[in-house]
A = this chain, B = another copy of it.
Amino acid sequence: RAPMALIAGPCQMESRDHAFDVAGRLAEICRTAGIGLVYKSSFDKANRTSLSAERGIGLEKAMEVFADLKKEFGFPVITDIHTEEQCALVAPTVDMLQIPAFLCRQTDLLIAAAKTGRAINIKKGQFLAPWDMKNVLAKINGSGNPNALLCERGASFGYNTLVSDMRALPIMAAMGAPVIFDATHSVQQPGGQGGSSGGQREFVETLARAAVAVGVAGLFIETHENPDRAPSDGPNMVPLDQMARLIDRLMAFDAIAKA
């Protein structure tokens, strides 16, 4: 089986300069490690805990930056969409569309995303059993798009906590779609800080190791040169300067898992 790929980038696209900075360093890390990179950023954080939280640079500007990043670094890019209209707007630029976990049951959004013909990474809802992703997958495939990926990012476990059930990975893989493990949002503590979500960055490697050993097509890890100053998901992003070592370790497990 093919070695795993990496979906990575800063949670939000903060600015053109910031995007180029992080992308350049990530591209270098992945080239050195020999792992395929799909660069990820959100142009809009539509589901922030608070009304006043920062939401990103906007769709139009983000698409320009994505196009330039692709030209510069040659990697494919992925972004998340939140309305049907956005699907057609981002599809000419991005290579992969991402369905947010809260929205994984919105039929019209799934269909609109599918119709773009782009690959679709579907985050599994925190409220869904792994076997129920079969119905979600069928909405994409049944709309004529065979290129869906299924992404585990934790299941609700009491209040303000998620738990990663590693059984979800083989259960979803048996549906025939590549399975991604999101090690960043799996350590999120939803609402855990009152006006924003908390996170447990210290467990990113723990869960990533576990998922890679079980076997995944790809890992999703958000990263930032200074997570504590990031506008969103800071508590669960990995510092950029720790990515190289982290990826090396995980690739060693991946090699065994795929042997």
Does A108 sit within 8 A of B, measured CB to CB?
A: yes
Does A20 sit within 8 A of B, measured CB to CB?
A: no
Residue of B nearest to A202 (CB): B170
Range class of the A interface residue count: 35 or more
Minimal beta-carbon separation of A229 from chain B (angstroms):
22
Bound together, the chains give a CA A39 to CA B253 distance in angstroms of 29
Q: Using A48-B107, A253-B213 as known contacts, say yes or no to A195 and B159 having CB atoms under 8 A apart.
A: no
Does A166 sit within 8 A of B, measured CB to CB?
A: yes
Does A34 sit within 8 A of B, measured CB to CB?
A: no
| In contact, A127 and B126 (Cβ under 8 angstroms) | yes
Copies in the complex: 4
Residues 203-235 of A, flagged 1 when their CB comes within 8 A of B and 0 if not, give 100110111111100000000000000000000
Residue of B nearest to A82 (CB): B106
Bound together, the chains give a CA A153 to CA B214 distance in angstroms of 18
Q: Which of B165, B195, B211, B215 contacts A164 (CB 8 A)?
A: B165
Residues 144-158 of A, flagged 1 when their CB comes within 8 A of B and 0 if not, give 000000000001111
Interface residues of A in 136-194 (CB under 8 A from B): 138-139, 142-143, 155-161, 163-167, 169-170, 190-191
Residues of B within 8 A of A103 (CB): 102-103, 106
- Of the A-B pairs whose beta carbons lie under 8 Å apart in the complex, a sample of 22, sorted by A's number, is A46-B108, A50-B138, A51-B111, A55-B107, A126-B127, A128-B190, A128-B191, A129-B159, A129-B160, A129-B191, A131-B191, A132-B190, A155-B156, A155-B159, A157-B165, A158-B163, A159-B161, A169-B206, A170-B203, A209-B214, A252-B259, A253-B257
